Amino acid sequence: MLPVQSPDDVKRLRSSELPALAAQIRARLIETVSHTGGHLASNLGVVELTIALHRVFDSPADRIVFDVGHQCYTHKLLTGRAERFSTLRQAGGISGFPKRAESEHDAFIAGHSSTSISAAMGLARAKKLRGEEGKAIAVIGDGALSGLAFEALNDVDGTLDNLVVILNDNEMSISRNFTTIARHLARIRNTSGYYHFKDGFESALQRIPLVGEGLREGVSRIKSAAKEALYHSNLFENMGFTYLGPVDGHDFSQLCSSFLRAKELREPVLVHVHTQKGRGYRQAEENPGAFHGVSRFNPDEEQSCEMPPDTFSEQAGLELTRLGEKDKSIVAVTAAMKYATGLHHFSARFRDEGRFFDVGIAEAHAAVFASALAAGGMRPVFCVYSSFLQRAYDQLLHDCSLEPAHVVLGVDRAGIVGEDGETHQGIFDVALLLTLPGAAVYSPVTFDMLRRDFSRALYEEKGLCAVRYPRGKEAFTLPQDAVDHLDWWEYGVPEAEELVITYGRIVSRVERACRGRACRVLLLERILPLPQAILDTAAQYRRVVFIEEGVRAGGLGERMASLLLEGGFTGEFVLRAIENPVVPQGTVEECLCAVGLDEESLRRIL
């Protein structure tokens, strides 16, 4: 049992006890995540930072917003959830991300990147409008310092004197950062002499009993000259922040001192903290990218850093690499997800040719960039998680669809993903893609389909095209009597009165639910645009059942129902999709059961 149950307990500890608390927390993180899976390296890196936050600031009066949120595990342990921590990411347990309904100490939802500064600004403004004391604190990693984060930084002014931004610089997003911002932060870390000079100089001045106005102006000029000589420029000071740092993110004395100063200042403050991702667990220190998000593992055994080849993500990466060998116009784009989407294969093979692009956590930029690559004569493939694709909707519509541009999307983690919960379920992509003019969508359920669909997307389609595939392994084998119609597969009893239509990973459960029933099954492989032959076939049946692992509102089932009705269909149309799109955490099977897409629930509607 940890010796703390609340932020007040952290404040009561002696300074000499803090390293022992950090060691206990790291042991608890490794023990728990090894059983539940989750985000390990990122949480190991912010243990001291989080302890210092709660030692200095006063949550929940001071509102702490974690960017992305996957590094909030220590925060949860320190805010009354230590006893339930073993339920992390389990059905009915505590979330792996901040959740306002879970604790008053969780200030804002955070499942995606780059939102913390905007959220902290809103909380800070609300405090001012309501006459409340306290700070709003954004904890943001250097990998998330892109896109929306810069829009927020650009909106900060001197009146927001209750805003603190803590920049957790671990030189990583999910994989290593190579962006301009990463290089800028490296220069700050390597030229910190100015800040040591500044702190020492100001400390000396404070010991002078009386400082005249002339001396004040001279001091300002001396500090500016020192800054120019030692550093030249600091982006954050130029944007109106008082900059503190760089601070050793594993030194309690430096952290607490800097946070106390930020708490006392009545102006926007940015504290630059340098941490080590994976700290305290050798394997995570040596390969933080591989230990960013992990499944269950044995912490006492050496873990393989190789991604298993029998997943859709790995097969997608291998197939794109194979295609890239034959076609030099194929280029690959990712938003800081090289390993997770399988594109490390493409990156390693074509590194010297400059055909792989990791743009950092910036999906909107990636979409426009890919569209312009296409306009320039290349064949871009942008691989992205389904839930992160949402962040680029405007660009997919405006920059990829209207013209149109021949951009191929590899939509990974399509469908229910399980333990990461509401913010990560890949259940909106089909409804989203359905609204894009001229878009084509493939939904393979076997590795062979995946390979042919990427080839078709690259060489047969003309505009925006998505190939969407689930997380994990291949779990479906086509029945022996299945007939390939290129855009769909057919099996079952052709002369039956009932037609079942489905697509995506859920087909394995549909196939089992249909066993022993006299029905015909159509498995859609190219789901958009809907082939006219599918509509013509469905119109002939007395009863049509449409099953999809996606949201009902605006989904493919609703699209088909409306097209059939417009065509005069008078039979029974049954649609089973996800009615409530807020799907809590749990195993994939538990989540499917909760939304009525498990095998037993499907039998009841057939």
Q: Crossing angle for the helix pair 252-264 and 47-56, nearest 10 degrees? A: 40
Catalytic residue chosen out of the listed positions 28, 127, 135, 277: 277
The C-alpha atoms of residue 203 and residue 214 are separated, in whole angstroms, by 19
Structure tokens at 6: 């609340």
Structure tokens at 201: 């100089």
Q: Report residue 189: phi and psi, to 5°.
A: -60, -35
Catalytic status, residue 151? no
Residue 401 is classified by DSSP as I
Catalytic residue chosen out of the listed positions 26, 76, 127, 391: 391
Catalytic residue chosen out of the listed positions 171, 314, 319, 363: 363
Catalytic status, residue 363? yes
Beta bridge partners of 272: 167
The C-alpha atoms of residue 277 and residue 249 are separated, in whole angstroms, by 11
Q: Where are the beta strands (DSSP E) in 317-395?
A: 330-334, 356-358, 379-385
The C-alpha atoms of residue 217 and residue 339 are separated, in whole angstroms, by 53
Q: Which are the contacts of 13, defined by CB distance < 8 A and separation ≥ 6?
A: 3, 4, 21, 55
**Could you give the C-alpha distances from 215 to 194, 208, 212, 222, in angstroms and in order?**
20, 11, 5, 10
Amino acid of residue 389: L
Q: What is the β-pairing status of strands 408-412 and 379-385? A: parallel
Q: Which are the contacts of 383, defined by CB distance < 8 A and separation ≥ 6?
A: 316, 317, 320, 332, 333, 334, 337, 341, 342, 343, 409, 410, 412
- Nearest-10 Cα torsion for 230, 236, 240, 244: -70
DSSP one-letter string for 445-472 = -SHHHHHHHHHHHHHT--S-EEEE--SS
Catalytic status, residue 576? no
Count of CB atoms within 10 A of residue 93's CB? Answer: 18
The C-alpha atoms of residue 64 and residue 52 are separated, in whole angstroms, by 12
Active-site annotation, residues: 277, 363, 391
